Chains A and B, each alone.
Chain A
Amino acid sequence: MNKTVLHLDKIQKSFGGLRALADVNLNIEEAKTHAIIGPNGAGKSTLLNVCVGRLIPDSGHATFDGKDITGKDPHEITQMGIARVFQTPEIFPDLSLMDNVMLPALSKRDGSFKFNPFATMRTQNDIRDEAVHILQDVGLDKFLDKEAGSLSRGDKRRLELGMCLILKPRLLLLDEPTAGMARHDTNQTIELLKKIKERGMTIVIIEHDMHVVFSLADTVSVLARGKIIAGGTPEEVREDPIVKEAYLGGAHE
């Protein structure tokens, strides 16, 4: 059995009267890709938000690498080694592609705060090389000086993924990384994620597209109404009658 990277212990979160998460327990193992699936409103994004510090759970604990991260600030959690790709790409639209990936590289090297108004970006050669390298990885090295906001949606996602990868995270959280992508782009993204997975990255992925889930995931958890109702390998989950009932329904008959 592999080492546990992220451990969620009885996480509860309510918004007003709505129970978004009820007693969620989850173990994410090192170097595995874990998919979380479930119908709309099941609490998938809320779960990710708890993991990155955007939301503080009402009760329960999130432990990362043996350290309690419940209630920590997003930047602290990111510095500890969790990176997140959002459902709608969060990039720096007014900055160049290079700047977009150099910023996380600076964060990785210098930490969450460094006051250096008299240093110059010109001489940051290590950061620059690293940035070019990562842009090659995600296939965006053709337009280094282009403004990121002018990219297509698929390219923005790829850029965001590159920004997360340059952080060299211990855990990568992906919130529907292929939503709204054309088939061709989706396949490209799957290939890219497979490559990242092979390097030993631990990945948690929220996804609607079963094609993506079955091509990437080692294990799957099914979330419905704030509870994990089933878990196992993709094949086990696919055959589980409860899951068919709650989520897959007739769609995969």
Chain B
Amino acid sequence: MNSQSKNKDIRLMAIFSVIVLTAPIWLEPLGASYPALLQKFAIFGIFAIGFNILFGLTGYLSFGHATFLGVGSYTAVWSFKLLSMNVIPGVIFGTILAGMLAVLIGYVSLRRSGIYFSILTLAFAQMSYNLAYSVLTPITNGETSLQLALDDPRIFDAARTASQGLPSTELFGLKMSGYPGFYFCAVVLIIAFYISMRIFRSPFGLKLRAIKSNQTRMKYIGFNTRPYLLWAFVISGMYAGLAGSLMAVTDPLAGAERMQWTASGEVVLMTILGGLGTLIGPIIGAGVIKYFENIFSAFNENVLHNIFSFLPDGLENVVVQVAGLFVGSGWHLTLGLLFMIVVIFLPGGIVEGIEKIRARFRRTSPASSSEKSE
């Protein structure tokens, strides 16, 4: 049984890697196969995986994780400005600095649980946003956003980049734009997913789930729950920092709006929509939301007329009128409806829906029923 479940994990990793790396191919028919959007899928996937380690496992709902996203971005851009256009230091520093800030915010916020914890994280996030927007202008460049400049020191590769305009981010000479940029994010996503899977399978992960289930009992079987929660908070903060620094990799620009509470709320939606506390759910949720935001919002009347052109003229106009409300700038409406449907009928998110469909198929074919859901 043990080696069997180990093989299952290896299989899961293999399938996941293949799906991620072939995304440009199978997303083609959905119209989502261009590097900028693919990168977004990967980056927000990482953000949501990390958020799930806190919210999904321990049940502590943070409303301030965009802070770490922002810190990761700022740090990475500073690394590009001061050190090198190589993305590795930027990503490492972005992750570490976000983790350090998470220690601080987590230490204070985790003195409370439930809604009070959420409010504390929200308060910290709004403070950070305002700091970035105005008070810390020398570091963050306020509302104009932090950008690269020609006279940046870039001490490690000043000689190489000084001559020809603004440099672009690179990985040992490979430019991080277009598909190489996506594949870099994709590899990081696969590593991030692997780490998350290890955490899920570890005694540490089990203890986090137990805290969500019954924190009182955890204390009365001798566990000090506070440091466990703090580690979960810091790990998820570092995931957010990693995602933030990858945003700077794809576009070396960091603005305060990245830290706004709406960004914190978005990752909550992603996690719940995909499947809270499941391994793969948050990534699905992130993908769905980003797809809606980028593809659905681009639909206009012409596209709709094309889709419904098989209908008789009068009816076509009516249908296009109604459907028009749900696409273009109305994509939030569709997302809202989808979210309501999922929460009401599938509290376990999209993953639960997939599981139900799989279970129905399995009932017709006498396959093993012992396989546990991911």
Q: Which residues of A contact B (CB under 8 A)?
A: 52, 73-75, 78-79, 83-84, 86, 90-95, 99, 102-104, 106-108, 110-124, 163-164, 167
Contacts and interface: CB of A to CB of B under 8 A. Distances in A.
Interface in B220-257: 220-225, 227-228, 231, 235
Contacts of A120: 198, 201-202
Interface stretch (B207-215, B282-290, B337-345): B207-215
A120 B346 CA distance: 30
Query: When A and B form their complex, which 6 residue pairs have the shortest distance between CB atoms, in order from nearest?
Result: A78-B222, A104-B221, A92-B213, A107-B222, A112-B224, A90-B217
A107 B5 CA distance: 24
Contacts of B213: 92-95
Given A90-B214, A95-B213, A120-B198, A52 B220 contact: yes
A83 B220 CA distance: 7
Contact of B223 (A83, A112, A117, A163): A112
Which of A95, A120, A124 has its CB near the most chain B CB atoms (within 10 A)? A120
Interface of B: 2, 5-6, 195, 198-199, 201-207, 209-210, 212-214, 216-225, 227-228, 231, 235
B206 A122 contact: no
A167 B222 contact: yes
A98 to B, nearest CB: 10
A191 B228 CA distance: 38
B201 to A, nearest CB: 5
A78 B217 contact: no
Contacts of B222: 75, 78-79, 104, 107-108, 111-112, 167
B221 A122 contact: no
A111 to B, nearest CB: 8
Given A103-B221, A120-B202, 19 more contacts: A75-B223, A79-B222, A91-B214, A91-B217, A92-B213, A94-B213, A95-B209, A99-B210, A104-B221, A106-B203, A106-B207, A107-B222, A115-B204, A116-B202, A117-B195, A117-B204, A121-B202, A122-B5, A123-B2
